[in-house]
Amino acid sequence: MALLELSGVTRRFGGLTAVNDVTFNVEAGEIFGLIGPNGAGKTTLLSCLAGDLRPNAGSVRFDGRDTTGLPADRMCRLGLGRTFQIPRPFPNLSAFENVLVAATFGDPKLHGEAVARRALEMLEYVKFPRPIDTIASHLNAAQLKRLDLARALASHPKLLLLDELAAGLTPGELTSMATLLRRIRSDGVTILMVEHVMGLILELCDRLSVLQYGELIAHGDAATVARDERVREAYLGHDYVL
Amino acid sequence: MTTAATNLRSVPLARRFLSFTWLTLGAALLVMAWAAVAQPSILIDTLVTGGMWALMAAGLAMVFGVMNIPNFAHGELFLLGSFTAFTVYSPIRDAMFNDPSLTVLKIFGPFPGMVAALLVGAVVGVLLEVVLFRPLRRRSREQWVMNTFLLTAGVSVVIVNGYRLAFGNNYHGVTRYWDVPPLEILGVPISVDRAMVLVIALVTIGLFAVFLQRTSLGRAIRAVSQDETGAQMAGIDLNRIFVLTMGLSCALAALAGAALLFLFPAYPDVGLQPLYLAWFVVILAGLGNIPGAIVGAFIVSLLQTLTAFYLRVGWVDVMPTVFIILILLFKPSGLFGSAVKGVWEQ
């Protein structure tokens, strides 16, 4: 049984169908990539999975139960962590407090001192480079991405949704981020990542799905998808050669 | 919860202290220091009333910061608090009258009324959230601030007239809580009632600050006020936080009403002045800024005390208003700025 099962997920905004009848499974333990051109509906789809948006049709099953339309805080406590395309920490809390909030409320099994310990561990785990009492609004983009990741991991997720984690990172930061993601996976967390940086996708992902205009146009292991004619046309352009 | 201090990093030192905010703060502190030496009664009056406005304003600021609700029914919680305290305290007072040897009642008699007011306030706050705001939130968040403004203004009318219907137009008050000779502080006689008001305010504000800064629920409240969606993604159940915020805010207002019963007897419109003063403070400090509201409360109260001392009592509400017009002209985001931005577009 797959960890995450989407079947026929559809989300409309007024007359626009942002996500149309999307069906796929994410197996436990894999890194699953979701790619597609800008405006293809990737973030909308993630929001439908994370409980931020309610799908208009279709169903989402997570960890063996129907979670369609459950609110985001329930999803978080069920074991679904998420990072944002543009990191959104609590700007006036310190880095430590940011993670602490997530550990306190995201993992109902943690109590007392264990909460603070988890928060510290996670900041260490993502190699957060600044003093932990730094106020979040003083952090730069790369530091915020790590903070966002630590926050998502603090709730002890089974599945991590990453929305363009690599966007805006330098090549050096990209390499260490790839190492970190591999380590997260080997520690037993399944990853579903939306990404534009093809290098990272091809390097990390076991399987890929491609969205265009809200519909799934290709699906399979990374190499096959990258060779798919329709994908190359839709996403990579006519003459793109990998 | 942007305080002036967190925004200072990049501002050059000279400009830092020449800002409107620091000039105002500096002037207020100077006047208070001067008052401590020359006119201690001004300082004491400022602290006593300031403490109570701080209770009112902190709750108002919190509800605005966390839930984006401009609560115009906040004064009615003051009314409910003062009437609750009156109802609970009256039999205690009668018992003391009949048997003057009950010293326990003499010392602790007023507290049950205040605790009862706190509880009534909390319950009413929770009801307001669950019965009114939650259904509205579920239906639509468009025009949220305007809708909740109208809703709370309506609640205010309903409570005032419901109260009038049930308990009439009479004043229900007490002349004093503690029937003992006044204390002497800095050479000024100050009634024990007023001293206790200050103690209650300081203790409550202290506990409130510790709650917000040090406890996980307090941290969650701050997190929600900074990023609602982000907080939800971190596993925070927003409904729980909203219930808590509203209950706490209303409890503080009711406590203020109860503690000031000897100054403001319970009558239908008693909440009006505290409501406006709390709004003065919140506008002065910056919408949704809780620590700012606490400091602002003392500034407004200082302004009032000075006005009453050197002009006339009749000008007491005029001077803060003039000051707020100036603030809105020169620093529309309030003295200490505000974490709540673009709220009118939401």
Number of domains chain B contains = 1
Phi and psi at B331, nearest 5°, equal -145, 75
Q: Do A93 and B226 touch (CB under 8 A)?
A: yes
Rounded to whole angstroms, the Cα distance separating B328 from B25 reads: 16
- Picking from A47, A74, A100, A101 by the largest number of B CB atoms within 10 A of its own CB, the best residue to mutate is A101
Under a CB-based contact definition with an 8 Å cutoff, are residues B245 and B208 in contact?
no
Please give the residue range of the domain that contains residue B277: 17-330
Residue B154 has pLDDT above 60, yes or no: yes
Nearest CB neighbour to A73, from listed B216, B236, B339: B236
- Picking from A90, A134, A138 by the largest number of B CB atoms within 10 A of its own CB, the best residue to mutate is A90
Q: Do B233 and A138 touch (CB under 8 A)?
A: no
Query: DSSP letter string over B246-291?
Result: HHHHHHHHHHHHHHTTTTS-B-TTTTHHHHHHHHHHHHHH-TT-HH
In chain A, whose CA is at the least distance from the CA of B240? A73
Handedness of CA B182, B184, B186, B187 (dihedral sign): positive
Find the length of chain B.
Answer: 346
The whole-model pTM stands at 0.83
| B133 inside domain | yes
pLDDT (tens, 9 = 90+) of chain A, 242 residues, equals 789 999 999 999 988 889 999 999 999 999 999 988 888 889 999 999 998 899 999 999 999 999 998 999 999 999 999 998 888 889 889 999 999 999 999 888 888 888 999 999 999 999 998 888 999 989 988 899 999 999 999 999 999 999 988 888 888 888 889 999 999 999 999 999 998 888 888 889 989 898 888 888 888 888 788 777 777 777 666 555 54
Rounded to whole angstroms, the Cα distance separating B77 from B120 reads: 9
Rounded to whole angstroms, the Cα distance separating A193 from A181 reads: 10
| B6 inside domain | no
Q: Kindly tell me the burial class for residue A96, based on how many C-beta atoms sit within 10 Å of its own C-beta (0-12, 13-18, 19 or more).
A: buried
| B224 inside domain | yes
- Picking from A76, A82, A84, A92 by the largest number of B CB atoms within 10 A of its own CB, the best residue to mutate is A92
Under a CB-based contact definition with an 8 Å cutoff, are residues B46 and B32 in contact?
yes
CA triplet B118, B120, B122: central angle to 5 degrees?
A: 70
| B22 inside domain | yes
Q: Which of B137-146, B167-176, B181-190 has the lowest mean pLDDT?
A: B181-190
Q: How many CB pairs under 8 A join A and B?
A: 78
Q: Kindly tell me the burial class for residue A157, based on how many C-beta atoms sit within 10 Å of its own C-beta (0-12, 13-18, 19 or more).
A: buried
| B272 inside domain | yes
Band of residue B4 on the pLDDT scale cut at 50, 70, 90 = very low
- Determine the 3-state secondary structure of A158 from DSSP: coil
| B341 inside domain | no
Q: What is the pLDDT of residue B346?
A: 29
Q: Do A101 and B236 touch (CB under 8 A)?
A: yes
Rounded to whole angstroms, the Cα distance separating B306 from B312 reads: 9
Rounded to whole angstroms, the Cα distance separating A34 from A19 reads: 13
CA distances (Å), origin B203, targets B52, B121, B206, B210: 12, 18, 5, 11
| B346 inside domain | no
Taking any CB pair shorter than 8 Å as contact, residues of chain A touching chain B are 50, 52, 71-73, 76-77, 82, 84, 88-93, 97, 100-102, 104-107, 115, 135, 137-138, 151, 155
Rounded to whole angstroms, the Cα distance separating B72 from B88 reads: 26
Measuring CA to CA, which residue among B120, B110, B289 is closest to residue B200?
Answer: B110
Q: Do B220 and A151 touch (CB under 8 A)?
A: no
* A93: chain B residues, CB-CB within 8 Å: 219, 222-223, 226
Q: What is the pLDDT of residues A15-65, one digit of tens each?
A: 888 999 999 999 999 999 998 888 888 999 999 999 889 999 999 999 999
Rounded to whole angstroms, the Cα distance separating B156 from A85 reads: 43
Look over chain A and give the mean of its residue pLDDT values, rounded to a whole number.
88
Q: What is the pLDDT of residues A190-203, one digit of tens each?
A: 999 998 888 888 88
| B239 inside domain | yes
CA triplet A202, A205, A211: central angle to 5 degrees?
A: 85
Phi and psi at B265, nearest 5°, equal -65, 155
